């Protein structure tokens, strides 16, 4: 098969994954819960004595990130178990489709779902901010892009963890822990400079294995004009690629 044929297969599988994710009951509950939390963010901003615009924007972006991360982790951790339960995965694997292509399609589909959710939540947040007679800060959309990059990185690693773990709950918890560790990676560097011997090796290894998600936390630094650099975007691409390669290896050895 040609490269374009593989891309076409990936797109077909991605669109199928995206369409099925929108039909799930969890997505409906998620949408209702997101609307409620956005309403709560308005109430929280009204309690702010000053800088209501910044408070409302930050709360909206924080809720957006948390909701997208939870949704992505849930989708990934239950992706294969749901298809095995519905026996739809056998229809795909019975065809001459490489497992690596199947995995790429599912990962792309989940990323499309999270991108769609980020778009909807961004529009909701803009509506809420505008309805309060406030202006949308310049860094808002850059922060939304940062949220998507974080979610894409976590999605790739969550697929790897789900393929290596034995249950959906374990994969969900490990992915959540991975997200937390990704935000403390930047604190490891000062410890590496002070450490030596075995401690230095362990801390250095942790700094390499866990992506520094703070590179994409525009919500905290965009007010000072923080842009995405070529280095941070390249790092995101490398982390996603590395996680995908390991996931493809694990998927090729997995028996259904």
* 117-137 pLDDT, tens digit each: 888 888 888 887 777 777 777
Domain encompassing residue 144: 3-253
Q: Could you tell me the pTM of the whole model?
A: 0.82
The count of domains in the chain is 1
Q: How far apart are CA 115 and CA 110, in angstroms?
A: 9
Annotate 105-118 with DSSP letters as a single string. Answer: HHHHHHHHHHHHHH
Residue 43 phi/psi, 5-degree rounding, is -60, -40
Give the number of other CB atoms < 10 A from CB of residue 256.
9
Q: How far lies 245's CA from each of 95, 103, 177, 209, in Å?
A: 22, 10, 21, 14
Mean pLDDT of 24-29: 68
Confidence grade of residue 227 (pLDDT, cut at 50, 70, 90): low
Q: What is the dihedral of CA 203, 183, 239, 107, to 10 degrees?
A: 140
Question: Nearest CA to 39 among 114, 107, 131?
Answer: 131
């Amino acid at each position: 098969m040609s490269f374009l044929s593989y891309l076409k297969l990936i797109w077909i599988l991605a669109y199928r994954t995206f369409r099925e994710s929108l039909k799930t009951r969890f997505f409906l509950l998620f949408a209702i819960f997101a609307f409620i939390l956005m309403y709560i963010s308005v109430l929280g901003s009204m309690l702010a004595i000053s800088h209501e615009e910044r408070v409302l924007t930050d709360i909206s972006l924080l809720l957006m990130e948390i909701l997208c991360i939870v949704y992505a982790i849930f989708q990934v951790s239950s992706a294969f178990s749901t298809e095995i339960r519905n026996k739809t995965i056998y229809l795909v694997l019975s065809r001459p489709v490489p497992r690596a292509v199947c995995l790429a399609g599912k990962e792309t589909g989940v990323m499309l779902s999270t991108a769609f959710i980020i778009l909807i939540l961004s529009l909701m947040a803009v509506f809420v901010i505008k309805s309060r007679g406030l202006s949308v800060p310049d860094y808002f959309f850059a922060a939304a892009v940062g949220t998507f990059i974080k979610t894409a990185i976590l999605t790739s690693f969550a697929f790897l963890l789900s393929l290596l773990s034995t249950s959906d709950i374990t994969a969900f918890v490990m992915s959540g822990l991975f997200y937390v560790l990704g935000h403390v990676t930047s604190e490891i560097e000062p410890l590496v400079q002070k450490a030596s011997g075995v401690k230095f090796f362990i801390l250095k290894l942790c700094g390499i294995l866990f992506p520094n998600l703070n590179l994409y936390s525009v919500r905290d630094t965009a007010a000072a004009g923080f842009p995405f650099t070529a280095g941070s975007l390249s790092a995101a691409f490398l982390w996603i690629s590395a996680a995908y390669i390991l996931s493809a290896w694990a998927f090729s050895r997995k028996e259904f």
